[in-house]
Amino acid sequence: MPLITTTGGLRYYRFSDRTKRIWQYRLENGNWVRLSKPIRISEGHDDQYTFGISHFSDLLKEPVVTFLAGSRNESMLEFQWAIDDNYASQVAVPDSVRKLTSGNISPVLLDPSPALDAPPSLWGKQWAFLAGGSNKFSPVELERTTPAGCWEGREIRDKKLFAPSKVAACVNFSGLHLFMPGIHDGRYGLMKASRSLDSEDYTVDVYLQVPDEAGIIIDTALAAASWNEEPRVFVLTRQKDSPVRHVQECVYDADEKGMTLRQLTKYDGWVGVGIDGQNVVVAYEDRDEYGINLKTLVWDEEEEWCDGPDIDRWEGANGGSLREMED
């Protein structure tokens, strides 16, 4: 997820497959500021990537940012750099993990953070979820205890779980939680798979049921959580008879005694979610004939959802000034 919560505030990362550069933005005094120099990496493929961050038990040490990606030549690539640096070094991936992740990996990273009130005993731990395994499309879980440690992986063989193009995941006081669209017990909607941190077994339930008459297709989900809070879950949807796509939030309906959808905005392109203090931030691309706007919505307890500051804008129908910036 390109929106990352740090002890110094929210960060946004944008990767260019064409130039193999990563541009960094940080939220300062209510506005987004782009760092002057990009991070250069040697490889990384299209939209098969994600970002994460690891903190150390010694908070005087700079956190490490992780870029995990698929590649045209390798099953899995990893690069790391200090959070305020612009030099990335490639990290060796064990052969056992390469074999396990030899599918369309589409990874998602989990990183317990002091900025999200995670206990110090979990700082530095990371989990990754991706597609691979024996049939190249099974869910695979990776885990390591420190940013410098080696990944250990396992294929999750629970037949109730599957690995679509991308899952949403978060970690909180009750454990690890995965969200994915699909069908369970004959019901279509958003599935939730959870396990405690001291167990390997997942329980699977229907988190959000979508009735047939709604005509909604869920493309993917997004999730974020502070340690002591329940996950905030969003879905990217489209109507069966329309190309228009929406960001919708999953909210509890007391009358229906279940989750329902609250439509937030239309989007065209990339969407991400992050937490900044007590606020939830949704960032999304909005395209028109003049260019690409990267906008935000911000939720707080007083005003609920409102427009936040734009992250950036690129002129031209195909983001021409973005290409110039990358060159």
CATH number of the domain to which 61 belongs:
2.120.10.70
Alpha-helix residue ranges (DSSP H) falling in 59-121: 95-100
User: Which residues neighbour 134 within 8 Å (Cβ) at sequence distance 6 or greater?
Assistant: 155
pLDDT at 324 (0 to 100): 47
Backbone angles phi, psi at 205, to 5 degrees: -135, 160
Per-residue pLDDT of the chain (327 residues; tens, 9 = 90+): 579 998 888 999 988 878 888 999 999 999 999 998 999 887 666 567 888 888 877 777 888 999 988 765 567 889 999 988 889 999 988 888 888 876 555 678 888 889 899 999 999 899 988 877 777 777 889 999 888 889 999 888 777 776 555 688 999 999 999 998 888 788 899 999 999 999 999 998 899 999 888 889 999 999 999 999 999 999 999 998 888 999 999 999 999 889 999 999 999 988 999 999 889 999 999 988 888 899 999 998 887 899 999 999 887 655 554 544 555
User: Which residues neighbour 148 within 8 Å (Cβ) at sequence distance 6 or greater?
Assistant: none
Residue-number span of the structural domain to which 131 is assigned? 3-326
Domain count, the chain: 1
Cβ atoms 37, 86 nearer than 8 A: yes
pLDDT at 240 (0 to 100): 87
What are the C-alpha distances in Å from 132 to residues 47, 95, 126, 135?
16, 14, 18, 7
pLDDT at 126 (0 to 100): 92
Residues 42, 11, 120: CA angle, nearest 5 degrees: 100
Residue 262: strand, helix, or coil: strand
pLDDT at 316 (0 to 100): 61
Nearest to 283 by CA among 64, 2, 63: 2
Encoded amino acid at 7, one letter: T
Cβ atoms 131, 161 nearer than 8 A: no
pLDDT at 241 (0 to 100): 86
Strand-pair partners of 109: 128
Strand-pair partners of 67: 51, 79
pLDDT at 305 (0 to 100): 96
pLDDT at 318 (0 to 100): 56
